[in-house]
Structure 1
Amino acid sequence: MSAATLPLPWGIPFAGMLLSIALLPLLAPVFWHHHFGKVAAGWALLFLLPFAAIHGPGAAAAGFAHALVGEYMPFILLLTALYTVAGGIFIRGNLHGSPARNTAMLAIGAALASLMGTTGASMLMLRPLIRANDNRAHCAHVMVFFIFIVANAGGSLTPLGDPPLFLGFLKGVDFFWTLRHIFPGTLFLVGVLLALFFAIDAWHYRREGVLPQDPTPDAPRLGFDGAANFWLLGAIVALVLLSGFWRSPVVFHIAGAEVGLPGLVRDAGLLAVTLASLRITPAGVHADNQFSWGPMQEVAKLFAGIFLTIIPVIAMLRAGVDGPFGAIVSAVTRPDGQPDPAMYFWAAGALSSLLDNAPTYLVFFNTAGGDPHTLMTTLAPTLTAISAGAVFMGANTYIGNAPNMMVKAVAEDCGIRMPGFFGYMAWSGCVLVPLFIAMTFIWFR
């Protein structure tokens, strides 16, 4: 069966997966805490078993293998390597989270995000920021803006920053193209967000003050323990870049899925980096960082369910105007046949808020013609809109970008009470959406 003829009910397991993430932590928190992995597996089986019965075990196995080997394993290996290496770096000292220092740390994280990826920057900066604010009565808003700025908007300037841009790089988009074309929008978005954060954090700071006793003792001076992990962080960046620049005709077939040699070398290298970090990092560094595998296990299990249940949804989207989402794909073209950058910005962004933003980027990249030379020149406003929508609007929900869920899990593991799924969307709706509307009129008309 072609993707164009897949009926919408095949998207029910994915919708159920999203609703489970949104509602069960609120309605049944104890059940969700102990069984979220089983819930994710149940929704995945609700798609795979009926699909195998109707279209044959071979088709179901092929979809499972492609999602597992071709997409999920590279994703989870990179996430695990970054989580492990960043967790092996302990920044000594107590910065005391004043509004000015918090704002400065968010700005530093935003700058790092385009150099080491939003996941790497998030994992490196998150724990020091949590420790700096552990004597604050309320700091969930700090984590929310951290997701907005470091885990998303900051990664918009290079292919290292966010997976959608890396896929564009693999398709032929110049490495520095996004820096030249998205920098003004990024500067506007990050600058306004930092200003808003400072105002909100200053209000909380004046209103609530700090706890009488700081749980984190002051250190004589700032410094790094486990600094050897910085070399491993550099190795991760090098492996990601290598897989982008290296072109090889060698292809391996693993469980029916094609894996290129550069990707295989990258994934093997990421596994080696993870093991090396665990070996060289002193136990005391992990203890000081409150490092545990709980957040990583939560993200791995939930995204396994998402990657499997999203298979039919992405297939329907890739069917273009002939598929169930044809109205969305058609909406990005003006009556004269020219692409509409504003609609590309919102269509790519809206879908990236709920779907994996990397394949969503590719769908609209191909919808706009798929020729990197034309998209970088004649249709540069369209490619800018697709790139900005996929990266920026990944912050609209917890599942829009992988670091979002990771930040939430780590913060909760450290005792911070984070907003629920819809509570977080209330924040993004009030803060981000008005900024995206302003950006539409400034850059994408």
Structure 2
Amino acid sequence: MRFSRCLAVTALMCLPGLSMAADIDGSSLSWAWGIPFAGILLSIALMPLLAASFWHHHFGKVAAAWTLAFFLPFAAVFGPAVAGGSLVHALLAEYIPFIILLVALYTVAGGIFIRGNFHGSPAVNVAILAIGTVLASFMGTTGASMLMIRPLIRANDNRVHKAHVVVFFIFLVSNAGGSLTPLGDPPLFLGFLKGVDFFWTVSHIFPETLFLAGSLLAIFYLLDRWYYAREGVLAVDPTPDTRGVGFDGAVNFWLLAAVVGLVLLSGFWKTPLGITVFGTEVGLPGLVRDAGLLAVTFISLRLTPARVHADNQFSWGPMQEVAKLFAGIFLTIIPVIAMLKAGAQGPFGAIVSAVTRPDGQPDPAMYFWATGALSSFLDNAPTYLVFFNTAGGDPAALMTTLAPTLAAISAGAVFMGANSYIGNAPNMMVKAVAEERGVAMPSFFGYMAWSGAVLVPLFIIMTFIWFK
């Protein structure tokens, strides 16, 4: 609530002359405007290690402080019109639709309880990870993550070492699995809205996805079998055995279908109708989608029996953490995205120039790594758009003559979102749910040690096979 009041105060301070707001010229910005964004990332990385109790109780205030550290000087230098317009655009065009979709998926998935006490053997864990990976492209990485993480944790609650299980879950279900359709991950959905065919991704990066998912499942099985043979299981399983597998709260499957339908509707429905709020255009399809998602959220809360939420240990804690931290990220990232959009003339010109070969043609390998490196720490959706536009922004050309480049951008944005906890929103949500259930998750840098050791070598192999 305090973070929301902070945003409201900031918006009110910027209201005068807001309708005169203009786009930010990233080429005129100094890299110093990125300090608040770097600050919030470092806070997420370091404060849980250095001041765990303070961070647990005040992470929202820390995010708000970094947000104000950007907006107050920005409004003073560029005026309330530019600052206010940027704030409104970030909230209405990006953050609010993003968080509404996450809330809807989190609520609906949290209303489905998978009955049955799976015993977390290596084979069972691989099966759960594989099912979640497949589901991610059809119900989104957020929906699949929230649906499958609870039974996975429950299956392993009698294991001594289980953090690695959740780490590979993030690799597979929260990221790699969402690479085949626009429903899977926000970057691909943005590409769909820009004109990329719905089935283009599955027809162009399926081999890459199969290689990555298959390799991760094989590596996980060998590692989990080693842990399992070394430690065994606890003498007493905290979860009692049940007769069989089943679902409670099954009405939420219909609501999940409604979420998918609303997302698809907003992509296929083309109309000039909409509203303009202080210079930010909000189309009617987006309004209908967001209103429908809110309705689905309330219907799920209304129809889901309290017993199902209790069995799932459903709480709003993980969602609140993601909402507050990503509000700060979406707002402090404004100047960073503007500087990237400035291209070779901006402060990050070296990055943009690096993706082009001497003959002027795009370099798929560099697009893969540049998109992926930024998606590891920035939000992967706007990063996808930056490089989509850097490659020309013409969906017809990118789907045909420049298909290797678009494949590299898509794969980099989706796959490398797994490199850190903040590369993709479900990563943070899964971490929060796991910690709430007592799993001792790796620190920010501890997680990156896992991704560096497991994912990066696979990405190098993929580069030589598909993106050379």
Name the TM tier (shorter chain).
Answer: over 0.9
Provide the TM-score with structure 1 as the length reference: 0.99
1:195-344 matches, within 5 Å, as: 195-344=218-367
**Partner SS for 1:390:** helix
- Supply the AA of the counterpart residue of 1:59: V
1:137 matched residue in structure 2: 160
**Partner SS for 1:91:** strand
Shift of 1:219: 1.1
Please say if 1:359 is aligned against 2:382: yes
2:83 matched residue in structure 1: 60
Shift of 1:221: 1.2
1:88 matched residue in structure 2: 111
Shift of 1:379: 0.8
Separation of aligned partners in 1, 2:427 and 2:278:
31
1:100 pairs with 123, 140, 146, which one?
123
Count of matched residue pairs: 445
Separation of aligned partners in 1, 2:309 and 2:165:
23
Separation of aligned partners in 2, 1:253 and 1:274:
26
Q: Gaps (5+ residues) in structure 1?
A: none
1:189 matched residue in structure 2: 212
Shift of 1:255: 4.9
Separation of aligned partners in 2, 1:412 and 1:196:
24
Provide the TM-score with structure 2 as the length reference: 0.94
Please say if 1:21 is aligned against 2:49: no
Separation of aligned partners in 2, 1:228 and 1:202:
37
Shift of 1:71: 0.7
1:31 matched residue in structure 2: 54
- Supply the AA of the counterpart residue of 1:281: T
Separation of aligned partners in 1, 2:173 and 2:442:
18
Identity %: 79
Question: Where does structure 1 differ by over 3 angstroms across 4 or more consecutive aligned residues?
Answer: none
Separation of aligned partners in 2, 1:35 and 1:392:
31
Separation of aligned partners in 2, 1:48 and 1:349:
28
Shift of 1:335: 0.5
**More off after superposition, 363-372 vs 388-397:** 363-372
2:452 pairs with 426, 429, 442, which one?
429
**More off after superposition, 13-22 vs 372-381:** 372-381
Separation of aligned partners in 2, 1:46 and 1:356:
20
Separation of aligned partners in 2, 1:334 and 1:70:
34
**Partner SS for 1:317:** helix
Please say if 1:416 is aligned against 2:439: yes
1:345 matched residue in structure 2: 368
Shift of 1:254: 3.1
Shift of 1:163: 0.7
1:50 matched residue in structure 2: 73
**Partner SS for 2:177:** helix
**Partner SS for 2:205:** helix
**Partner SS for 2:141:** helix
1:165-202 CA deviation, whole Å, 9 max, x = no partner?
11111111111111011000000000000000001111
**Partner SS for 2:282:** strand
1:69-108 CA deviation, whole Å, 9 max, x = no partner?
1111001000001101100000111011110000011000
1:176 pairs with 173, 195, 199, which one?
199
Separation of aligned partners in 1, 2:280 and 2:356:
34
1:406 matched residue in structure 2: 429
**Partner SS for 1:252:** strand
**Partner SS for 2:275:** strand
2:414 pairs with 391, 396, 400, which one?
391
Separation of aligned partners in 2, 1:322 and 1:120:
40
Shift of 1:256: 4.3
**Partner SS for 2:242:** coil
- Supply the AA of the counterpart residue of 2:243: P
What is the aligned-residue RMSD (CA, Å)?
0.7
Separation of aligned partners in 2, 1:199 and 1:70:
44
- Supply the AA of the counterpart residue of 1:64: L
Separation of aligned partners in 2, 1:96 and 1:375:
46
Separation of aligned partners in 1, 2:193 and 2:320:
29
